Amino acid sequence: MTGPNKNIKFPLENYDRLCFLKNIIKNPNIIVGDYTYYDDFENVENFEKNVKYHFDFVGDKLIIGKFCMIASDVKFIMNGANHLTNSLTTYPFAIFGNGWENAMEGKSYPQKGNINIGNDVWIGYNATIMAGVTIGDGAIIATNSTVIKDVEPYSIVGGNPAKEIKKRFPKETISKLLELKWWNWDIEKITKNIKNLTGSEIEKIIE
């Protein structure tokens, strides 16, 4: 046995509100790794609706690693949401034309970059992730957090703005996990190790 088929939409029998996310994504600027799942109270199609202000003409990407867990109502605010912040007004005159089209000449809206989510990241219910943020492998984002800054691997963050609550493991364990990168192993090796991966003793991992 080597676990579920990563290429199917709905890995749980008779249940269509949890999906292997990469298999339902239509937007080429959203890139998702194997086994990352999304669970939605109503309909998994809500995922893409919750990637907000994501415009093709901006071209920014939402990149999510493998084995992530994403809860209902998680939102990603992409760069299309940005107005000027260092100008006297944030009002976007140019989009309305009619003599206002030159308002943005020589200026551009702030671009904070892609959103990068690592591997084995758990994003709790109703969290919001802002443009430009990188979330490290193994991180946990607490329910209702608004993440505006990068999140260190294997840390738990919470609140608005999200702050580090604690690290999940001692430094040495985190280094070892980041070296192991178990999510890149072949599926036979992962399957052989699932009891160890769901335990807390890293020395028990079978290489």
- Active-site positions read 83
What residue spans of the chain are helical by DSSP H?
46-49, 171-180, 187-192, 194-197
Dig out the tokens for 170 from the structure: 């001692």
CB of 115 to ligand COA, least distance (A): 19
With CB under 6 A, what is the number of residues at the site for ligand COA? 13
Smaller CB distance to ligand COA: residue 160 or 175? Answer: 160
Could you tell me which of 55, 56, 15, 53 has the C-alpha nearest to residue 37? 15
Among residues 82 and 127, whose Cβ is nearest to ligand COA?
Answer: 127
Query: Closer to ligand COA at the Cβ: 142 or 178?
Result: 142
Site string for ligand COA, 158-197 (x = CB under 6 A): xx-----x--------------------------------
Instruction: Tell which residue, 123, 162, 118, has the closest CA to residue 136.
Output: 118
The 10 Å Cβ neighbour count of residue 136 is 19
Structure tokens at 175: 């280094």
Q: What is the pattern of x (binds ligand COA, CB under 6 A) and - over residues 48-77?
A: ---------------------x-x------
- Please report, as residue ranges, which positions from 124 to 143 form the binding site for ligand COA (by CB under 6 A): 124-125, 140, 142-143
Tell me the sheet residues that pair with 63: 31, 116
Task: Name, in order, each residue with C-beta under 8 angstroms of 29's C-beta and a sequence gap of 6 or more.
Answer: 54, 56, 59, 60, 61, 62
Residue of the chain from 23, 29, 144, 173 that contacts ligand COA (CB under 6 A): 144
The nearer residue to ligand COA, 58 or 165, going by C-beta atoms, is 165
CA distances (Å), origin 47, targets 140, 143, 193, 203:
19, 17, 31, 37
Is 156 a residue that touches ligand COA (CB under 6 A)?
A: yes
Tell me which residues touch ligand COA (CB under 6 A): 69, 71, 124-125, 140, 142-145, 156, 158-159, 165
